[in-house]
Structure 1
Amino acid sequence: MKDLGKLKYFLGLEVAREPEGMFVSQRKYALDTIAECGLLGAKPSPVPTEQNQKLALAKGPLLTDPGKYRRLVRRLIYLTFTRPELNYIVHLLSQFMQKPLEEHWVAALCVVRYLKGCPDQGIMLSSRADLTLTAYCDSDWSACPLTRRSMSAYIVQLGDSLVSWKTKKQKTVSRSSAEAEYRSMADATCELKWLERLLQHFGFSHQKPMRLFCDSQSALRIAKNPVFHERTKHVENDCHTVRDAVQSKLITTEHISTKHQPADLLTKALPAPQFKFLLSKLGIQQMFLPT
């Protein structure tokens, strides 16, 4: 065993310590990805994906070399460790690993051109934030044009620091947008419970109820109403973990407008101004780290 001192670089993760906290990025890994694609001199893209792009419905020639597509998508998956804004598009691109089309390759290169504009972007873990868990959840109803399944996403912050995020296609088809939002609330609630237990193992207790923000008034009413309505009987029992957590005062559900919903980043393609605004709410920063 040998003490190598404070962590600076490990498996592509670069760590810089400051009085304000710890900054984690993957700058060198992002630059290596850009260089491998031959886009070091390309024009940067303001967003990782274009709006109204239906990759699932793409019809065109197959990619002649699918191996390069798979390698690039695998690299992008690893970049989501510190780049949560890539979750949505990487989730889509990873569904076409078997038979990628030319259009899928172009979409993947758009992500690389986005990295070209901000390779040193990363997460700031504040040293002065309080140990309060806050979650934001969102869904895109019937997002998949092939299966009509919805997209769920959540973001969890510890104080002002981003600690957990996820984008995932729901397992079943939701009959309404409220049901889709409710399922995303259930996923976020389970993550909050797990993180609370993790804090307890470290010797920290969460005194106040954890806050869960959602932009669907219907889903919030379902979570707070103890009456089992006819319209919600088809929702699986495990989704009602939200209602149980609310009644036990483990969490509090609150409404947030869609314009200020940071989890919106993880469920759909957004215009550049809205994308940058929501990204700033997550504490994502750019900082040059020497290699």
Structure 2
Amino acid sequence: MLNVLGIEVSPDLLERWVDWLAPDEQPFFVTPKQARTWKLTTGERDPTREHRDTYWIYAIDRKAARTVWLTEATFLELPRATRAGLVRQQVACGRGAVPTARRWAGVVGAEVRQQADGHRFVWWKSLLGRPEVVLPGIVSEGLGMSRHAEVRSWPAALPRVRELAGTFADGSGANCFGTVMAACGVEGAEKVWMLREPFEEWLAEHTVLGGRDEVAGTVFVWRDAALDVQHAALTIGDGWMLHKPSQSWMSPRKVRTVAEVKRATRTAGWRLERHRVVG
């Protein structure tokens, strides 16, 4: 069994990761002028949630960009100068999954430098012949280990915490709000893209303001200047905390210390409030 960030990953989930990182067709974003110059056919379609998170589609100015969906074969049929310009444009517009050749040439082979401009490339399944070597480095980049194996005492009042701690979701969408609610007993909440409104309703009905960092059952809620909730996490006792950093398929439900979570979540304009679970 593959281990990523201290979490076991099944062969089935690893196979799905390959599809989410390198689908048979992937989106490239270009300006109308580039589409004409490079003779590319644009076409809009609804991306999957996994596409959205792999390629950071939420960060791209969709009014200025047109989408080109390409297979690996179609991409490689383009002149190299076009491929180079196309890949550079993905970096310029903020698309995700455009790594540096310097970072990965030693893993996937030096020929990756021939794919585009020699400096950046995009993932295709042909580069993922050893997914057990490549995927952990991508999924774990910038994320700390889950420390659930260090927890010695799990809170009896929060029976699902141990089940959720140190797991990856089955895809994108599952987020911090659903993770907290599921850990507190809301059946199925860990599987859905939990929006702010139902989380706020749950918070109002099942918690009161207050709580202590070292005691299990304190919900940390981070709000922005407009008082919109931006993130949530749950203390599980003895200085430990359960949280899911984002809704992305790469983001696990992990255990870190309270201090580590507070440090990782510190954001200008956000303020932290505490709520105690009461039922």
Both proteins in one fold, TM over 0.5: no
| Higher relative contact order, chain-length normalized (CA < 8 Å, sep 6+) | 1
- Return the index of the structure with the highest Cα Rg: 2
Q: TM-score scaled to structure 1, two decimals?
A: 0.28
